[in-house]
Amino acid sequence: MKIIDYVIESTNKYIEQMPKEIRKKNGQFFTSKETALFMASLFDLSPFSKEISILDPGAGSGILTAAFIQRIVDTDKIKNVKITCYETNDDILELLNANLSWISDNSSLKIEYKVIKDNYITSQTLEYNNMLGACAEPKKYDVIIGNPPYLKIGKIDKEALSMPDICYGAPNLYFLFMEMASFNLVNNGELVFIVPRSWTSGAYFKKFREKFLSEVALKHIHLFVSRDKVFDKESVLQETIIIKAKKETNKPKNITITTTNANFDFDSKTVFEAPYDMVISGEHKYVFLITDKGEADTIEKVNEWKDTLPTLGLKMKTGLTVDFRNREALRDDAYEKAVPLFYSQHIKDGKVIFPVGRDNEYILTEQKGLLQENTNYLFVKRFTAKEEKRRLQCGVYLSKKYPKYKAISTQNKINFITGLQGLSDCLVYGLYVVLNSTLYDNYYRILNGSTQVNATEINSMPVPPLACIENMGKELIKLKDMSEENCDEILRRFMYV
C-alpha cells in the first residue's frame, strides 16, 4: 500500500468517529489526498541529494508529511529524511504517532521523526522575539508543509502576544503559523501552506503581509474556484488558496498562479505567469490573485491612475448604526425629530429610494456618533451574495431630495463616500461611474475574494483625477442612464486623457 493511501485511510476512520463540532472547535480540517500530493509536488527538491529536513506544524494525522514522503519515494533520490511534527491535540496524537511509525517501518528511506507536543507558536516566543533566554541557534528546516488551524483568537491570547509585530486586532492562528514557518526556514528553504485567502488584503493583515513578504518570495499560488470542495468530508465554506514561498530577498520576475475548480482536478488546472510586482504592489502590500491576461489588463489599466480617494480629499466610511445594538432608537414611522436610516435595501438600480416600507427605517437619537450630515453621498453595499453579478453595488444619494432633514444615518451594512467638503452632484455621479463600471468591479474581485466590500481597500484603489471624475458625472447626468454599460462607455472615453 502507498504511504499516502495508508494515512488517508486511517484518517478517514478517525473522522468517522470524531464529531465535527469537536474538530471545528480546534480549527481542525483535514487535507484531501489530491491536495496533499499537489502541495508536495510544488517543492523544488533539486538542491537535495542525500538528506532533507521537514517540519509539519499542526500536523494532525500526518497527511501532509505522508504526501511529502511519498514524493521523495517516487523521485528515488533522497535517502535520509528528518521529520518534525508539532501537534497538541490529544485526540489525534496517538494516530499521528502510529502513522509516522508505519511510514518509517514501510519505507525504503532512513527516517527519523519527532513529535513535539507543544504549542507551535508560544513554544518559540523567546526565539522569535530574540529575547533573553532564547536558544542561540534555533532549529531551522529545509522545507515546511502546513495546513494550519483556521481559528480566530483574542488580541490578548498568548499566541497573539507571542507575535506582537504582526498582530492587529483579533488575529487568526493560520497567519501566525505562516510567519513562524518563515522564521523556521533555512535561507533558500521553501514552505507550502494551504490557508484562507483573507490574508491577501485588508487592514487586519497589513503588518503580517509587510513582514512575511519582506522575508520570502512568493513562487506559486493556487486558487480553488469552489468554496466547498477543497476539504473532503468537511463541508467547509472557505475561500482557500495554496501558496509556495521561498526564503530569499530576491524577488522573481513572475509568480505562477494556477486554478482548479476543486481538490480533485489538478490535472486540468489553468496556469498563468503573473508579473511579481503586479501581484504584490502598493503600500498595503495587497496580493492580487491574477489568473489570466484579462485580469492582468484590468490591474494594469486601473494602476495607470495615481490618485486614491484620500488624496482627492474623499474617503469611504462604514455606516454608523449597528441596528441591533440601538433597537431603542429605531422607529418604523417618521416621528417628529426622527431621521432616515438607510439600509442596503434602499440602494436600487444606482439610486437611493426612500422609504421602501421596511421596519426601522427611521432613527430617533441625540447620539452624535449615529448621525451624519444630510449631504451628498455615494452609498455602496457592504455585503452581496456570492452568486450576484456585481460585487460593487452603488446608489447615488442626493441631499436635496430630502430637504426636511438636517441629519441622516446609515446602517453599518452599507459604506458611504464623503469628502472634506460636501460632494457636488457631478462628483457623486462621477464616483458612481467609476465604481459601477465593469473595470472597477473586476479590479475589486481580483483584490478581494470575499463578498464583503471593505472601506480600507476601496480607499487604497487608484482612481482618476478629481476633474475627470466630475466630468464623467456631468456626462452621466446628461445621459440619464445609470446602467453598467453606460458607465463603461463613459469611463472608456475619459481614460488616460
Q: Which residues are CB-contacts of 329 (< 8 A; sequence separation ≥ 6)?
A: 363, 364, 365, 367, 370
pLDDT attached to residue 497? 55
Q: Is the peptide bond before 355 cis (omega within 30 degrees of 0)?
A: yes
Q: Which residues are CB-contacts of 46 (< 8 A; sequence separation ≥ 6)?
A: none
Q: What is the DSSP letter of 50?
A: S
Model confidence pLDDT, tens digit, residues 234-265: 444 468 999 999 999 999 999 999 999 887 78
The class (CATH top level) of 3-291 is alpha beta
3-state secondary structure of 145: strand
pLDDT attached to residue 171? 92
pLDDT attached to residue 237? 42
Residue 51: all three cell numbers together: 538528506
Q: What's the fold here for domain 309-493?
A: Adenine-n6-DNA-methyltransferase TaqI; Chain A, domain 2 (3.90.220)
Angle at 108 between CA 103 and CA 110, to 5 degrees: 75
pLDDT attached to residue 28? 62
Q: Which residues are CB-contacts of 353 (< 8 A; sequence separation ≥ 6)?
A: 346
Q: Give the H/E segment covering residue 104.
A: helix 90-105
Q: Which residues are CB-contacts of 288 (< 8 A; sequence separation ≥ 6)?
A: 200, 274, 278, 279, 280, 281, 299, 446, 447
The total number of residues shown for the chain amounts to: 497
Instruction: Tell how far CA 376 is from the center of its chain.
Output: 32
Q: pTM score, two decimals?
A: 0.91
Separation of alpha carbons 432 and 106, rounded Å: 64
Separation of alpha carbons 128 and 124, rounded Å: 6
Q: Which residues are CB-contacts of 427 (< 8 A; sequence separation ≥ 6)?
A: 376, 419, 466, 469, 470, 473
Domain boundaries, the chain: 3-291, 309-493
**Residue 60 neighbours by CB distance under 10 Å:** 26
Residue 50: CA count within 13 A, CB half-sphere: 0
Model confidence pLDDT, tens digit, residues 278-303: 999 888 899 999 999 999 999 999 99
CB-based burial label for 149 (10 Å; 0-12, 13-18, 19+):
buried
Cβ distance 138 to 109 under 8 Å? no
Nearest Cα to 347, choosing from 404, 310, 388, 407? 388
- The partner residues of 254 in beta bridges, in order of sequence, read 275
Separation of alpha carbons 135 and 118, rounded Å: 16
Separation of alpha carbons 6 and 321, rounded Å: 54
Phi-psi region of 118 (alpha: psi -120 to 50; beta: other; left: phi over 0): beta
Residue whose grid cell is 459604506: 415
pLDDT attached to residue 229? 45
Cα dihedral 384, 314, 206, 434 in deg (nearest 10)? 50
- Per-residue CA distances from 4 to 70, 78, 123, 311, 492 (Å): 6, 18, 29, 54, 53
Low-confidence ranges of the chain (pLDDT < 70): 19-28, 226-238, 496-497
